Amino acid sequence: MKEKQDDVLQEFCDLCHRVGLKLTTPRLAVYRYLRGNTEHPGVDRAWEEVRKELPTISRESVYRVLNDLASHGIVALLERPDVVARYDANPNRHDHFYCEKCGRFFDFEIEELPALVDAAVGSLGKIERAEIRVRGICNECLAKEVRLANKE
């Protein structure tokens, strides 16, 4: 689903306003790149792409922007089994499948999850976020393994 750039600008403007974050060109560029991106990129990948729009932006700036957006709840920070932080601007509640071979995150959604979690955890406190994280090996990596095995 591709949105028009102006819609993204408007959306980002609203988000910044809501959380009290100043709208800057680097922040908008990073958000524009992340929004609608299903890759769940890390800082290096984000820098590589954002630089195409803002050639002078440093890796450090992209990193700072990502952390600003994450600390204001505009993007989600996905903790990985390793130390590399990854970012997700998909605003809808969704779950993640993590491939241990290639390190990619894939989105999926268990629609019943919020109700299930609420039933099980609701009496303990207020739920801010519920997400299932599944670890495994993605189809692409599985296919690669099969191809390698067949070569032997």
Binding track, positions 28-67, relative to Zn ion; x by CB under 5 A: ----------------------------------------
| H-run or E-run covering 133 | strand 133-136
Residue closer to Zn ion, measured from CB, 15 or 61: 15
Quote the least distance from Cβ 113 to Zn ion, whole Å: 14
* Contact indicator for 106, 39 with CB cutoff of 8 Å: no
* Pattern 81-120, Zn ion, x by CB under 5 A: -------x-x--------x-xx----x-------------
Write down the least CB distance from residue 22 to Zn ion, Å. 26
CB 44 within 8 A of CB 37: no
CA angle 22, 8, 13 (to 5 degrees): 25
Helix %, strand %, coil % for the chain, to 5?
Answer: 50, 10, 40
Residues in contact with Zn ion by CB under 5 A are: 88, 90, 99, 101-102, 107, 138, 141
